Structures are given as structure tokens and as C-alpha cells.
Amino acid sequence: AQSVTQPDIHITVSEGASLELRCNYSYGATPYLFWYVQSPGQGLQLLLKYFSGDTLVQGIKGFEAEFKRSQSSFNLRKPSVHWSDAAEYFCAVRAPMEYGNKLVFGAGTILRVKS
Amino acid sequence: SAVISQKPSRDICQRGTSLTIQCQVDSQVTMMFWYRQQPGQSLTLIATANQGSEATYESGFVIDKFPISRPNLTFSTLTVSNMSPEDSSIYLCSVTRDREGEQFFGPGTRLTVL
């Protein structure tokens, strides 16, 4: 079964600084990969996804993620963080073509932005 | 995308009672799911709601505790039965239009059990 590890529970960055959130997955082949953001009191919003093809994926709100098969990683990046990016970020994985379309989520990383 | 609403948005309930949460989508979807997010935790899939048949439950979740209905392609309910304080969580509905597509999430229902 697939699993997801987000090693950083909390990250604090200054506004305007760059950001990288780490995500490692465990799966025998290349899974489908997702990053979601959850703002306080809100549901989850999809930032970006990777199914196949170009390993650098562009998402909404200026985020991007890079799939690295050799490292089983799918790290999320943003070159310049805004205060409104403060939220919790979840990496998720799904086995391609698996019946049920089930997502397995990482534990999440809480991003704090200091001014 | 999909516009998903959940009712209630939050509730405070007494131990031993039951609460039914509704999930309504603005258009037909293929699959509907229910997740639980316990305080400070990540999301855990409870079950897949199947239209016209019994839901498919994940390990650790049973129908007697979390009965689910899905009478059509835009609506589902999750009941949390015989509640205890350990059931205090956010319950989220999600949908997907096809097996290859992304999942869209509702705003969640924040449940507190006293």
C-alpha cells in the first residue's frame, strides 16, 4: 500500500522568502501525486497534481512541485511567500488505475509566515 | 471543478447521540467520499459512497458506526452514530467526476462531542 511522509510538521518563513515543503512517498511504481492546501476553517483546495510527463508541475497561486523518481519525492516550492500563504499543506498519493480513486494523505505541514 | 456544500458546518453534540451530515454537489459526479480529520491530524478515508448500493468502508470503519447513504449522483449523507468524545473531528465530503480526475473537497463539518 502507498504511504506519504511529510517530515516537517511546522515551517516558518519570512514574507518574500522562498519556500520548499518536502514530501516523500512509498509506492512500487509511479503514483499520482497531489498537493492540497487547507486554510483555517476551510476545506481542501488542490494546488497542483502530477500524473505523468514533465516532472516540474505548475500550480495555482504561484506554486510548483517537482517529481523526482530517484528520491521518491514530490516537493512543493514557491519563490516568494505571501502572508496569505499561511495554511496547512497536505501531500497526497493515489495508485494509478486503482479502483476507488482513494487518496492517501501525509500528516501535513503547517506554514507560518512572519512579516 | 465542483461546488460542494455540507450541512451542518459545525455542531456540538452529546455523548450517545447521532448526527447526520449532508453533502450536496452542484452537478453529477462519479464518486463521493467521506473523510475524517481528527484534531491536529491528517485526513483519513472513512468510506466511498456508492450510488444505489452499500458504501465501501476502509479498515477500521464500520457501517454500524458510520452509516452512509447516496440516493443519487449529487447527494450523500454520513451519520456518526452513538457518538463519543473520540468522534470529535472535522468530517469532509469529497467528489470526483472520473477515476482519473482530481478530488474536490467540501468545506467540512466540525463536530464536537461532549
Per the CB < 8 Å rule, is A90 touching B41? no
Tell me, what DSSP letter sits at residue B102? P
Chain A: residues touching B (Cβ < 8 Å): 34, 36, 42-46, 49, 51, 90, 97, 99-108
Nearest CA in chain B to A98: B99
Burial call A47-65: b when 16+ CB within 10 Å, e when fewer: bbbbeeeeeebebeeebbb
Taking only the tens place, the pLDDT of each residue in A20-73 is 999 999 887 778 899 999 988 778 999 999 988 889 999 999 999 999 999 999
Which residues in chain B land under pLDDT 70? 99-100
Contacts of B36 in chain A (CB under 8 A): none
Range A90-111 average pLDDT: 83
Per the CB < 8 Å rule, is B100 touching A36? no
Per the CB < 8 Å rule, is A100 touching B56? yes
Taking only the tens place, the pLDDT of each residue in B8-29 is 999 999 999 999 999 999 999 8
Distance CA A56, CA B86 (A): 41
| pLDDT reported for residue A3 | 87
Contacts of B41 in chain A (CB under 8 A): 107
Residue at grid coordinates 491528517: B42
